Amino acid sequence: MLTILLTDGEFTSMIHALRERPDVRIVGFLVSENAAHRAMLDSSYVAPSWDDQGYIPFLYDVILKEHVDFIFPIVTKSLELMASKAQEIYEKTKAIVVTSSQESIAIANNKAALLQKLQEDPGTAEYITEYEIVHTIGELKENITTPCVVKPVRGENREGFYRVVFDETWQKAFLEGNSDGVLCPSMIENMDDNLRFDEPRLVMPYLPGQEWDADLLVIDGKIVSATIRKNLYMFGGLSAVTETSEDPRILQACEKIVNVLGLKYLCCISFKETAGGELKLLEINPRAMGSIQVSALGGNNIATRLLAILLSEPDDRAFRLTRGGLRTSLYYDIIPLPQGDKE
C-alpha cells in the first residue's frame, strides 16, 4: 500500500485522480477541521501554516506516523519551502517530495522573474506581452492604461488580481452588482501616491481573447502526458467550465517553456489568445493542479501515470494527449466561513 501526503490546500481533484489506484492511501493537511474534503481522505491533520516555525517538525511527525511514501505540495506559496527541504526529508524519512527544483519554482512562482526569463530566450519571447512592475500607487498611476490588469508578482489563484476598466464600465458593473475585482482610473487617481503594495504588482494589458490551460506531466525534460483545456466560462479562480482540446500550438509553446525553466513532474501553464491568434503567457503553476481530474476523466490520468513512473513500473514513456471535446466543470470545494461566536 502506498501512502500519499497532500499538503496545505483544497485538493479534491487530486484525490479523485489518485483514487484510480486501489493501492493508495491519501493523507491530507487541512486548513480547517471543517474542510469538506476531509471525508475523502484516509487520514487528515489540521496543520500549522507553512510559514509557521512549527510546520516542518509537524510535517516530519506526520510523515513518520503515517509512513508516507510520496509528498505532493499543493499550495503555491509553500512550494519553495518544500523544494528546499526535499533532500533533507528524503534522507531522514525516505519520503519523496514530488516537485520541481527550488530554482525552477522560484522563477515560476514570481511572475516578474518568469516573464523576464522567458523574454530573454529567443524561443519563448513571443509568448510574453508588455508589462511593468510597480511598487507604489504613484508608479501604478504612471504606468496604467485602460483596460489592463494589475496582479501581484506572487499570488494564489486570483488573490490580489484586479481588472482596470473605464469609469463608465465600472459604474455599470457596480450597479449590476458585478464590480468585485474591478477598478477604474478615477478610483486609483484618488489614492495616495506614496502608498506601497505589500507585494510588487504587474501591470499588463487586458487580453479579452480565449484562455487556455495545459496540465502537464514532465519527465526528464520531456512532456509525456498533457491535457489541453479551453476555458469556456470563468467564475473566478479555479471555478470554470472547460473543454479539452488537441490544439498543437499550445503543446508547442509548453514544450519550449518547460525546456527553458527546467520544470519537472506536474505543472499547469496558462495562456491567453489575442484577437490575432497569438498566444501570451498568463502564469505557471509548478505543482499538482486543481484541474488534474480532467485528465483522468479523459482516460489520461496524469497523477497515476506519474506514480507508475516514480515506482519504476512498466511504462513506455510514449507521449499521451487527452482527447479533445470533453467538457466539464471545475469548482472550489471550500467556502471560508466567519470565525467567532455564533448565536
What's the domain count of the chain? 3
Domain check: are 80 and 144 in the same one? no
User: Is 89 in the same domain as 114?
Assistant: no
Q: Does a structural domain hold residue 337?
A: no
Identity of the amino acid at 223: I
CA distance 111 to 74: 18
Q: For 41-63, how does the pLDDT look when each residue is reduced to its tens digit (9 = 90+)?
A: 999 999 998 889 999 999 999 99
Q: Tell me the whole-structure pTM to 2 decimals.
A: 0.88
83 shares a domain with 61: yes
121 with 221, same domain: the answer is yes
Q: Which residue has the cell 519537472?
A: 264
How many other C-beta atoms can be found within 10 angstroms of the C-beta atom of residue 80?
A: 20
Q: Is residue 131 part of a domain?
A: no
Q: 86 with 116, same domain?
A: no
If asked whether residues 215 and 313 sit together in one domain, one would say yes
Nearest of 148, 185, 149 to residue 166 by alpha carbon: 185
Q: Where are the alpha helices (DSSP H) in the chain?
A: 12-18, 55-66, 79-93, 102-109, 111-119, 137-143, 167-175, 185-189, 248-261, 293-297, 302-310
Listed residue (98, 76, 72, 77) closest to 15, CA to CA: 72
In a domain, 341, yes or no: no
87 domain-assigned:
yes
CB 178 within 8 A of CB 231: no
Residues 29, 69 share a domain: yes
pLDDT, tens only, 246-280: 999 999 999 999 999 999 999 999 999 988 889 99
Q: Does one domain contain both 230 and 324?
A: yes
pLDDT at 8 > cutoff 50: yes
DSSP bridge pairs for 229: 213, 244
For CA atoms 164, 167, 172, 177, give the dihedral sign. Answer: positive
Q: Is residue 340 part of a domain?
A: no
Which tens digits make up the pLDDT trace of 125-163?
999 999 999 999 999 999 998 899 999 988 766 778 899
Tell me, yes or no, whether 47 and 71 share the same domain.
Answer: yes
Q: Assess whether 54 and 177 both reside in one domain.
A: no
Domain that holds residue 75: 2-99
Residues 6+ apart with CB under 8 A from 63: 5, 71, 89, 93, 95
Question: Do 20 and 156 reside in the same domain of the chain?
Answer: no
Query: Are both 213 and 306 inside the same structural domain?
Result: yes
Q: Where are the alpha helices (DSSP H) in 271-327?
A: 293-297, 302-310
Question: Are residues 211 and 272 in contact, defined by beta-carbon separation less than 8 angstroms?
Answer: yes
